Structure formats: C-alpha cells, structure tokens
Amino acid sequence: MHDDHVHPSPSGEHVEADGQWAFGTGFEDPLYGADTTVPDGIDGAELASCCVLLADDALIAAQRLAQWCTNAPELEEELALANIGLDLLGQARHLYARAGRADGTGRGEDAYAYFRDPAEFRNVRLVELPNGDYAFSVVRLLVFATWRLELFTRLTDTPDPVLAAIASKSIKELDYHRSYAAQWVVRLGDGTAESRLRAQRALDEVAPHLGELFTPHEHLRVDVASVRAETTAIVSRVLDTAGLVLPITESATGGGRDGLHTEHLPALLAELQSVARADPQATW
Amino acid sequence: MTGFETTSLEESDFELRLHEQFDDTIARDQRIEPRDWMPDGYRRTLIRQIAQHAHSEIIGMQPEGEWITRAPSLRRKAILFAKVQDEAGHGLYLYSAAETLGADRADLTQRLIDGRQKYSSIFNYPTPTFADVGVIAWLVDGAAICNQVPLCRSSFGPYARAMVRVCKEESFHQRQGYELLSTMMRGTDHQRATVQDAVDRWWWPSLMMFGPPDGDSPNSEQSMAWRIKRHTNDELRQRFVDMTVPQAAALGVTLPDPELRWNEERGRHDFGTPDWSELHRVITGDGPCNTERVARRRAAHEDGAWVREAASAHAATQAARAREGAAA
Amino acid sequence: MTDATPRTSAQWPLYEVFVRGKRGLNHVHVGSLHAADERMALTHARDLYTRRNEGVSIWVVRSDLITASTPDERDPFFAPSGDKVYRHPTFYDIPADVPHI
C-alpha cells in the first residue's frame, strides 16, 4: 500500500493547496518527499531536541485521546476525539522523523516512540495525566491546544524550514482542537449543575500543571512570556463565557521536560510499547 | 388515521393500489424513498436490519479498538485509529438511514444495550494478538464487503446510499489488513505463527457472518423479494470463499478446512460446513465476549449521559437568551 | 415541531447535513446527525461527512425545520404518506393547506 494518507486533516480544503510538503504520503517516512537536509548554521542536536519534546507532547496526548475510543459520551464525539488524536499523532510522527534526521542518528519515528524509557521522554506532565472524566479531558485539551497553537504559531518562522512547515500545517489542526475544546468547556460550564461542578473540578486539577507549560527551555526558542500571556488571555476568555474560574494555584514547574514524570507515564508507555518491545526483531 | 373521509372498503382498495405501486417500483428496480408508502413489514425489516448493521459497526470498534494504544508502530497506530474511527462513522451513516424510517437512535441504542437488538456475532470473539487486527480486516471486513457491495443497490434509497459511502471506505480497511498480514508473514517465525493462529480462529466465524444456510434462513426470501437483499446467504458465502482462497495462498497461510478444494465441474470451491450450533450459541448470547461488549457500550452511553444533558441544557439556555434578546 | 419548552433530555435533536463537494457544485444532502446546537452540528458534520476532504462547505439544518414538498402529483403512489400513522419521521412537516388526497 503506497498511499499512506490515512488521515486527511479536518482543516479541510486548504490542506492540499498548501501542500509544499508531501506529508504523510510516504510508505515508511512521514517526511517522504521533503528536503530534510539540515541547513547550515542550525545546530542539529538542538533542533532534534526541540522536535523530540514537541513530538513527545503530541504522542502522549494522542495516546490519551486513543483511550477515549469506544468510551466517548456520544458517537459523534468518537469521531471528533479520534480526529484530534490522529492530528496529534501525525504531528508526533513528522517531528520524530525530523529529529532523526537532525540529530544525525537517522533513527526512525518508532525508535523514539517505542524504544526510549520514561525518563527519556520530554513531554510536559499535563499530557500524561489520566483522562479522568470528559470534563477533565476537554479542559486539558483547551489548555493544551491553546498553548501549543501559540508555540507553533511562533515556530512558523523558525530557521529550520522543515520544522517551520510542520508548524504551519499543525496550526490549522490545533485551531480546530482549541475550538472543539472551547465549545465543550462553555457547554459544560453553562450546562447543568453537575457539568459545571465537574468542569470546575477539572480546572482545579489542571491548574497546578500550567506552570510547566511556560517554563523556558533552552532548545525551544520561543518567547515564553508572550506565549504565556496569549494562552492565559484566550483560556480566560473561554472560561469567562463558561462561567468558570481558573484557580490561582499554578506554581509547580513540572519536570517533564527533564524526564521527571508522574507515575502515570511509565504505565502509559508500558502499554504503548508492549507489542513493539515483546519482539524487537518483528516487522510491522 | 385522520383526514380520510372514506369508507373502510374504499380505504383498503386504496391501500391495495399503493401496495401494487410499491411492488411496481421494486419490480422496476427503482428506489423506495423515506416518504413513500411502504408495507409495514418492509419498514420493520429494514429498521431491524439497518439497526443491527449499525450496532455491528459500533460494537465492532471494540475488538480492534483495544489495539490502538498498543499498535507496534506509529504508522500502524495511525491506520488503526483511522479505521476504528471510520467504523464509528459507518455506524452513524447507518443510524441516520434508520432514522429516515422513523426509528429513533436513542431508542435503537437502548435496545442494543438492553440486549433486545442484535449485532453481528463475529464481534463476540476475542482479539488476543495484534495479528487479529490484520485478520479481522482481511477476513471479517472482506466478508462484510461481500455482503455490503450488493446492498449498495438495495431497494431502500437511504440504506443503499449509506452503503455506497461505507463500501468506498471499507476497501481501505481490507487492503491495510492484508498489507499488515503480508508484512508479518515476511517477519519472524513467531509472527508467521501468530498470523496462522489468527486465521485458524477467524475463518469459520467469518463464514458464519453470511448467516444460516438458505434452507434455514426464514427472512431471506421476503428480503430478496423486496430487493433489500440481492443474493442469498449461500451465494455470498461461496463468493467470499472463492475470493479468499487465492488471497490466502498469496499470503502463505492455510485455511483451516480439510474439505476446501477447487471443484473443476462447478468452477467454484467446495468447502466444509461451519458449526452452526456454535453460531447459535454465540447469537443467543453465549459467545466469549457478548457480555463484555454490551457492557462496555452501555457504560459509555450511561457515563456520557451527563455530558449530553449538559449540552442540551446549554443549548436550551442559549435559545432562551436569544428569544429574550429578540423580545427586548 | 414547534415545542418551545427548553429541552433538557439527553437526546440531541437531529440535523440534516448538506455538503458542497467542490466549488461549482450545489450542496447535496449527505445524511443526518445528532447535535445539541447548530455549532456542534457543523463540527460534527465536518468530522463525520468530510473526513476525507469531501467538502468545501457544509450546511446543517434541524430536521424538524425542513418543510417538504407535497409528493409528486404525477405519481399518486406517494400522495397520502403525510397522513399515515406509522411512526413517521416527524421532521418532514407537510404544509397545512395540502388537501387530503
């Protein structure tokens, strides 16, 4: 099967038109068809490190969304959650592929996803937390998508053209994710007494993990202060509409970017990696 | 029945005429559309068949869905995720078709989770290895395609149109499954053994997907007459066997039927008889995973009630606000 | 259906979906779905009916707001269906002035 384009982006009609990169059409290589030479003047190791942490965020978030499969509150939401999960999985694949070229190891995406241990993962803790109820999942998604959209918007003019292209493609997806989550947070906040309670509780649980999102990282060269300001402003607007309050408890700096994870990540990875590791000689 | 100023005799004449016209539409191989007059039995049969079909898509997400989080490569993960998502979509196309007949999705869902309406018994078998993902796509989806392609010409328009959509998407499903199995067959000995093991487990249940033998299929004849169905169970089963045998050979797996051989005279394959008593057991609820599948669907539906209620409440509040705004 | 009381049931209303396959074509009816409000209906429609880039534009409309034409007079076969007591799709309102046969 040569046509590997299993998941067209929900962003719809624009995808093909701006497709300077033949994303997702390669048999094995998600960056098939793109010029993946690392331009002069770019530190490959640093670029790879940046791609890996962004990929890890997306992979773990996608894994959590996959756990909703067959458990969503309505069938139409199955489609929506899967679309978002597939978008993020696609982002992870492109970013890992970029990392493998940039760090000179030539590693494929699966080497990163399946054959690293939890302490080697660089995702923020927010994404590894268990799904909880639907309120927790959409509140987390709102924060995650809003923040990631801000990051990627700033990465569209990053010096590496491949990362810039991945960012450009991703922002259309993230815009949809944010909109989906925002709609739901408003519905839950402005819904029934029970949904409001659950949504507020979700916010209380998410709040301590916000600080980590805005901690500067040496290889992620974006203006963290402006990312923080924009993310907070947008999330606050949604919460205002929803009649919810973001508690001022953010303090933890996390540690996910340094490989210091909650106990939830090893369990998540054990499941994700189980088949691949059971028989490393196998071909899939 | 309001509005009719007719005697019952005239009314029954009228019904008779409608029935003739209905039969005539079927005979001319034209489609029946939702607002057309149709015999009660036709409506009931369609609702039952389309609902069972929709339920099968939704329950069918489970055995494969279990493997999305464990898929052994990111490419396989994306493919499987997209495939299971498609199945949710197929379920929705079909519920949508059932709703054009006046059925209500909430009611159909309730029937499913109360165990009052069936789904394809194939999904009551477990999926212990990743090879099952490939074999389901190859054999189970292959059998489904054999069943579904003729349904694209089913006499009921919305059902036929839903099937056209479904069939287009199913071809991706079957191909990716076959491709996974080919890859595994080129892998390690252990992988080859897993594929063969999965084929051994799924072959007979796949044959049973076509339903009981023609002589034992009480509803088939009427469904054929109404052109809801186009081929008998046995015809479709034969077609599936003939299609699958060369694929199995190319793959390098053995189909677990000692009686399976080419019949030169018939120009078709002879094959053994499935264990119908097993099918009966599985259909009547004694399959390996019946309870678990329905329980999972029930839990999702019931756990989601507060979410659906919240959205309804918000929509109602918004509508009320809009009315107040308009009145002010 | 003109019921103005707020819905609090968990059952979302039905919406019909129309997709413009590409520029230059009409919107075509592709099916239906359930959603709590218009915005959700559009989101769902995109996820359900345009997963493979099948559309450039989507319309959604609540099924119970559609007014259907009277059945084709050239085919009297259809004529009385609006009056049948079958559990009919309630969403096709027949204009009040349509004569009964």
pLDDT 10s digits, B271-306: 999 998 887 888 777 778 999 999 999 999 999 999
Question: What is the C-alpha to C-alpha distance for residues B34 and C71, in angstroms, rounded to an integer?
Answer: 11
Q: Does A233 touch chain B (CB under 8 A)?
A: no
The domains of chain C are located at 9-87
**β-bridge partners, B270:** B261
Interface of C with B in 18-57 (CB under 8 A): 31-34, 36-37, 40, 48, 51-52
* Mean per-residue pLDDT, B199-213: 94
If one counts the domains in chain B, the total is 1
Predicted confidence at residue B9, as pLDDT, reads 57
Predicted confidence at residue C70, as pLDDT, reads 58
Give the closest-approach CA distance of A253 to chain C in angstroms.
Answer: 35
Helix (H, G, I), strand (E, B) or coil at C96: coil
Question: What is the C-alpha to C-alpha distance for residues B114 and B51, in angstroms, rounded to an integer?
Answer: 14
- Hey, are the CB atoms on B309 and C31 less than 8 Å from each other? no
Kindly report, residue by residue over A123-161, the tens digit of the pLDDT.
999 999 999 999 999 999 999 999 999 999 999 999 999
- Hey, are the CB atoms on C47 and A79 less than 8 Å from each other? yes
Question: What is the C-alpha to C-alpha distance for residues B222 and C67, in angstroms, rounded to an integer?
Answer: 34
Choose the closest CB to A66 out of B81, B313, B314.
B81
Interface of B with C in 134-163 (CB under 8 A): 158, 161-162
Predicted confidence at residue C89, as pLDDT, reads 42
φ and ψ at residue A63, rounded to 5 degrees = -65, -40
Question: Which DSSP helix (H) or strand (E) runs through A198?
Answer: helix A193-206
Instruction: Write down all domains in chain A, each with its CATH number in brackets.
Output: 39-278 (1.20.1260.10)
Predicted confidence at residue C83, as pLDDT, reads 42
Instruction: Give the list of residues 6+ apart from residue B306 with CB closer than 8 angstroms, or none.
Output: A192, A194, A195, A198
Predicted confidence at residue C75, as pLDDT, reads 52
* Mean per-residue pLDDT, B20-48: 94
Choose the closest CB to C7 out of B2, B37, B312.
B312
Predicted confidence at residue C69, as pLDDT, reads 74
Instruction: Give the list of residues 6+ apart from residue A96 with CB closer than 8 angstroms, or none.
Output: A30, A51, A52, A55, A59, A108, A109, A112, A113, B74
Average pLDDT, chain C: 73
Is the predicted ipTM greater than 0.90, yes or no? yes
Cα–Cα–Cα angle for A160, A169, C50, rounded to 5 degrees: 165
Choose the closest CB to C89 out of B100, B309, B318.
B100
Q: Kindly list the residues from chain C whose CB atom is less than 8 angstroms away from the CB atom of residue B92.
A: 31, 33, 48
φ and ψ at residue C18, rounded to 5 degrees = -125, 130
Q: Using an 8 Å Cβ cutoff, are B104 and B172 in contact?
A: no
Give the closest-approach CA distance of A276 to chain B in angstroms.
Answer: 4
Average pLDDT, chain B: 92
- Hey, are the CB atoms on A80 and C50 less than 8 Å from each other? no
In this prediction, residue C23 has a pLDDT band, given cuts at 50, 70 and 90, of very high
Q: What radius of gyration, in Å, describes the C-alpha atoms of chain B? A: 23
Range of the domain at B54: 17-327
Within a domain: residue B1?
A: no
Give the closest-approach CA distance of B216 to chain C in angstroms.
Answer: 31
- Hey, are the CB atoms on A16 and C53 less than 8 Å from each other? yes
In this prediction, residue C11 has a pLDDT band, given cuts at 50, 70 and 90, of confident
Within a domain: residue B128?
A: yes
What's the CATH fold of domain C9-87?
Ubiquitin-like (UB roll) (3.10.20)
Give the closest-approach CA distance of B84 to chain C in angstroms.
Answer: 13
| Other Cβ atoms within 10 Å of C94 Cβ, number | 15
Question: Which DSSP helix (H) or strand (E) runs through C59?
Answer: strand C57-62
Q: Kindly list the residues from chain B whose CB atom is less than 8 angstroms away from the CB atom of residue A63.
A: 69
Instruction: Give the list of residues 6+ apart from residue A284 with CB closer than 8 angstroms, or none.
Output: A276, B72, B73, B75, B76, B180, B183, B184, B187
- Name the residue type at position A242: A
**β-bridge partners, A217:** A220
Q: Using an 8 Å Cβ cutoff, are B231 and B150 in contact?
A: yes
Within a domain: residue B5?
A: no
**Is it the case that residue B216 has pLDDT exceeding 90?**
no
| Other Cβ atoms within 10 Å of B320 Cβ, number | 12
The list of chain A residues with pLDDT below 50 reads 1-27
Within a domain: residue B12?
A: no
The CATH number assigned to the domain holding B97 equals 1.20.1260.10
Within a domain: residue B285?
A: yes
Within a domain: residue B68?
A: yes
**Percent of chain B beyond pLDDT 90?**
80
Residue of A4, A79, A175 best to disrupt the C interface, most CBs of C under 10 A: A79
Predicted confidence at residue C53, as pLDDT, reads 75
Question: What is the C-alpha to C-alpha distance for residues A88 and B81, in angstroms, rounded to an integer?
Answer: 12
Choose among B138, B128, B147, B173: nearest CA to B255: B138
Choose the closest CB to A73 out of B75, B81, B308.
B308
Instruction: Please provide the DSSP assignment of A160-192 as one string.
Output: SHHHHHHHHHHHHHHHHHHHHHHHHHHHHHTS-
